[in-house]
Amino acid sequence: ISCGNLHALANGVEVPIVDVTPFYWDYGLVEVGTSKSKSFLVRNLGFGYALVAASVPSPFQVEYLLDYLSLYDDGEGFMDVSFTPPAPVYYSNDVTFAFYDSQTNAIGGDTRPVFGTGWKPRYIMKWTSVSGDVYRLQEQRQSTNLQSWTDCPWATNLTATGQVYRYAWSNDIVGT
């Protein structure tokens, strides 16, 4: 052991010790057809050169600039994994990390779980303005005893091309 760095030998040769953090990624809710990306920090805690490759089944994807990440002594880098849900359901997979030495001999590996849920927003109203802008009024799942618009702090007012629309959970839409 040397100054906090791990000094590992295999047959008299210094070898890398690869660490991947965090231990998992929860992507939460991601709108169907859109992507969300998160990064894994990959570090070489030992000595010697390491190549790191990663793979994961769809709808997750490792985003590469190269086919691998190169890590020298005490080096670190990021591997990004994106989630693009094709349907509004829960997804879970493992990212598989493979570690290689400078001669591309396998020296280990690790996995990290990733999970997320695809969702499709529901809109009460959608319209396109004369200028081509698209407006959407998303459904809100709240209830209250609505006595008047002023009693409803979550009621939404939208203005488009001179039209004012108000929405409440009772599904009333008032336009002027």
Strands (E), the chain: 8-10, 13-15, 18-21, 25-31, 36-44, 50-55, 60-63, 69-71, 76-83, 90-100, 106-119, 123-128, 134-138, 156-160, 163-167, 173-175
pLDDT on residue 105: 87
Q: What is the pLDDT of residues 107-152, one digit of tens each?
A: 889 999 999 999 887 766 667 777 877 776 665 443 334 344 444 4
Beta 156-160 vs 163-167: how paired, if at all? antiparallel
Q: Which is more confident, 150 or 34?
A: 34
pLDDT on residue 131: 80
Band (pLDDT 50/70/90 cuts) for residue 90 is: very high
The average pLDDT across 54-62 equals 96
Three-state DSSP class for residue 150: helix
Residue whose C-alpha is closest to residue 115's, from 90, 88, 92 = 92
